[in-house]
Chain A
Amino acid sequence: MSEPDAITATEITEAEAAALDFTAPYFHGQYPIVVKGLKTSFGEHVIHENLNLTVKRGEIIGVVGGSGTGKSVLMRAIIGLQIPDAGSIEALGMSITDARDDEDIDIRSRWGVLFQGGALFSTLTVAENVEVPLKQFFPEIGDALRHEIARFKVMLSGLPEEAAAKYPAELSGGMRKRAGLARALALDPELLFLDEPTAGLDPIGAAAFDRLTKELQETLGLTVFLITHDLDTLYEICDRVAVLADKRVIAVGTIPELLATDHPWIQEYFNGPRGRAAKSSQERGRAAKSSQERAAVRNAGVDKSADRGA
């Protein structure tokens, strides 16, 4: 294995690789995503009007909103797949709205995107999927290292080792999401976009995916832009939540801060039966944890919140 690699090493010299250079320096600013005055529309149908959103570095921001409020469209606009009618978008300190296609490619190596259905390339195995961005952006990486990277990314995403050589069609929905996450993480991005990562997963799988997201965010120091309908995800892992309604972001903040506002949609969203269930399950989780720490009356803590009728 190592012999052909030694040959590739001589094939690409440093000078040649420098010509391929499109890596910008690591982003050290406060706000990796800044959206100002965004307007997007499909024909007559206006999706966003004067939308503003600022994401802090190192946080997990949850984006919520009713169906059709343009959560995915907002994500597509930020990653440059949807050209807005007006407004400016900055990601990692670079303007997406002003950049031309070939210019903003250098930012693309610094974010990872998990699409709703996983969007894995169906003719490639999971590991080959992970290798695609590596090959695309860093051709100087030898085959041996690239295979190793693909393997550990697959395992970091919580997939069993054997999944690496499987085709997406052979995986379950939850495993496909994890495989999509492995590809999104292939380039060690600073920014991670997740579009409804827990949709369609069973509650156990969804909770495991939440934990994985949080762990990876802490280990790798990611900023995560997370679109979700899952109230448990919001309570468990999101630092802040942005609420999309009336064609713009009507509020951004922690859940208690949002609850303090009197917008009817927010109240209905978090105080509806599902919102209350998610909240009490989070409290129950916390209660169980703290009682474990005190090594006492664990059962009392669980029973009490169970009485509250979750």
Chain B
Amino acid sequence: MRDWADFTSEELDGGAVRIAFSGPLTVSTIGIADNRLRAIEAAVTEVDLSQISDIDTVGAWTVWRLARDHDAVITGTNDKADRLIAALKGASGTADIHPRRQAFMRRVPENIGSLVTSWGHGMVGITGFLGALIITIGDVIRQPSRLRTTAIIRQLELVGISALGIVGLMSFLVGIVIAQQGAVQLAQFGAEMLTINLTGRISMRELGVLMTAIMVAGRSGSAFAAQIGTMKLTEEVDAMRTIGVSPMEALVLPRIVAAVIMMPLLGFYAALMAIVGGATISAFTLGIPFMTFLTRIQEVVPIHDVWVGLVKAPFFGLIIAMTGCYQGMQVKANAEEVGLKTTMAVVQAIFMVIVLDAFFAVFFSEVGWG
């Protein structure tokens, strides 16, 4: 049981009140007594501390505030109470606890304004980044010895090889879904055999590369942003610059090269896995033998579908790696920003990949690869 701080109020002549505290006046005991003290409306002229058993800064504050607000005298103090009250006298303030917020009508337009200007700055920034990248590529072409082969191979492994498992499994399952759902709809026209066309063409043209791009953006784009962002925070990037190592050459280029090389390979692999998934489910539910499905694919999927997928993939890789590295380079202040920029890298990469994909869809049908 907690020993609560308590007080008695005693009416003196002329409506004045004398407050006598008892018990310990500490942070752990004062809470309830304080609420009662604030409710006192009569004028307090004397605060008596002779009955208290203990006091700390919070107790002393409560006593002193009461005395200050009512212009009362404090009596019956011991050494400790005197010392604490003296220390607190210099420490009373009225400062805000929470930061001031602008009024709603002002805050909203301000935020919108800063959002719009940040888009503008973002456009300028990414254009500058692209320029720096092109210059770096030019430098490396003129002096091929500056290409960081080890770093590129390491990134090829991280972006490509270690993604094989998850990309393969995902595509296999997507293939199953397309074949199964397609078959249900096509069966209404008695055209189950067209499931093969559907699965084969959509995997090769669109889904293989697109799903891979989303997976790579989630796996590698985020990793690029977080790695480079953390290196910015720990001043590793600045250290590189002072030593004369270009961060574009050492950090950005290997990641971009790796993503550009790996995206077509992963995308093609994903398309194959989707076809295998479709063939598997067809063997079970549609009664189309596995090998028949695969042979039929060769007949119904035109070769330009493969090219459509393969041409798009390096561009997707470039976009993913560039947004990742660019956002990482934008980290300046603190750990929170690393998270923020990583999120932005992934969101922007996926969004831009889909925009570009729409553009390619129109482009390829215009050139007759429909």
Q: List the interface of chain A (C-beta within 8 A of B).
A: 2, 5-6, 8-9, 12, 14, 17-18, 21, 23, 26, 109, 122, 125, 127-128, 131, 134, 137-138, 140-142, 144-145, 147-156, 161-167, 169, 187-188, 219-221
Q: Which of B28, B34, B61, B99 has the most CB of A within 10 A?
A: B28
B111 contacts partner chain A, Cβ-Cβ < 8 Å: no
B62 contacts partner chain A, Cβ-Cβ < 8 Å: yes
Least distance between A185 CB and chain B CB atoms (Å): 8
Task: Determine the chain B residues whose CB is within 8 A of the CB of A169 once the complex forms.
Answer: 333-334
Query: B83, B88, B98: which contacts A125 (Cβ < 8 A)?
Result: B98
Stretch of B11-19, B89-97, B220-228, B305-313 on the interface side = B89-97
Number of interface residues of B (CB under 8 A): 41
Task: Determine the chain B residues whose CB is within 8 A of the CB of A9 once the complex forms.
Answer: 32, 35-36, 39
Q: Once bound together, how far apart are the Cα atoms of A221 and B39, in whole Å?
A: 32
Q: Are A142 and B34 in contact (CB under 8 A)?
A: yes
A152 and B96 contact, Cβ closer than 8 Å, known pairs A122-B334, A141-B30, A169-B334: no
Q: Once bound together, how far apart are the Cα atoms of A156 and B86, in whole Å?
A: 12
Least distance between B94 CB and chain A CB atoms (Å): 7
Stretch of B51-59, B133-141, B356-364 on the interface side = B51-59
Q: Once bound together, how far apart are the Cα atoms of A168 and B54, in whole Å?
A: 34
Q: Which of B26, B58, B62, B65 has the most CB of A within 10 A?
A: B58
Q: Once bound together, how far apart are the Cα atoms of A169 and B333, in whole Å?
A: 9
Task: Determine the chain A residues whose CB is within 8 A of the CB of B339 once the complex forms.
Answer: none
Q: Are B28 and A138 in contact (CB under 8 A)?
A: yes
Task: Determine the chain A residues whose CB is within 8 A of the CB of B333 once the complex forms.
Answer: 169
Within 8 A of A (CB), among B331-347: 333-334, 336
Least distance between B10 CB and chain A CB atoms (Å): 22
Q: Besides A154-B93, A163-B95, A187-B28, 5 other CB < 8 A contacts?
A: A149-B27, A151-B91, A152-B92, A155-B92, A164-B95
Q: Are B97 and A150 in contact (CB under 8 A)?
A: yes
B31 contacts partner chain A, Cβ-Cβ < 8 Å: yes
Q: Are B38 and A162 in contact (CB under 8 A)?
A: no
A151 and B95 contact, Cβ closer than 8 Å, known pairs A23-B2, A169-B333: yes
In the complex formed, the residue of A with least CB distance to B87 is A219
Q: Once bound together, how far apart are the Cα atoms of A79 and B233, in whole Å?
A: 31
Q: Once bound together, how far apart are the Cα atoms of A142 and B95, in whole Å?
A: 18
Task: Determine the chain A residues whose CB is within 8 A of the CB of B99 once the complex forms.
Answer: 125, 165-167
Q: Are B98 and A165 in contact (CB under 8 A)?
A: yes
Least distance between A175 CB and chain B CB atoms (Å): 14
Least distance between A105 CB and chain B CB atoms (Å): 13
In the complex formed, the residue of A with least CB distance to B56 is A188
Q: Are A142 and B56 in contact (CB under 8 A)?
A: no
Q: Once bound together, how far apart are the Cα atoms of A164 and B99, in whole Å?
A: 9
Q: Once bound together, how far apart are the Cα atoms of A138 and B28, in whole Å?
A: 6
Q: Are B27 and A21 in contact (CB under 8 A)?
A: no
Least distance between A60 CB and chain B CB atoms (Å): 18
In the complex formed, the residue of B with least CB distance to A21 is B2
Least distance between B197 CB and chain A CB atoms (Å): 54
Q: Are B94 and A151 in contact (CB under 8 A)?
A: yes
Least distance between B1 CB and chain A CB atoms (Å): 6
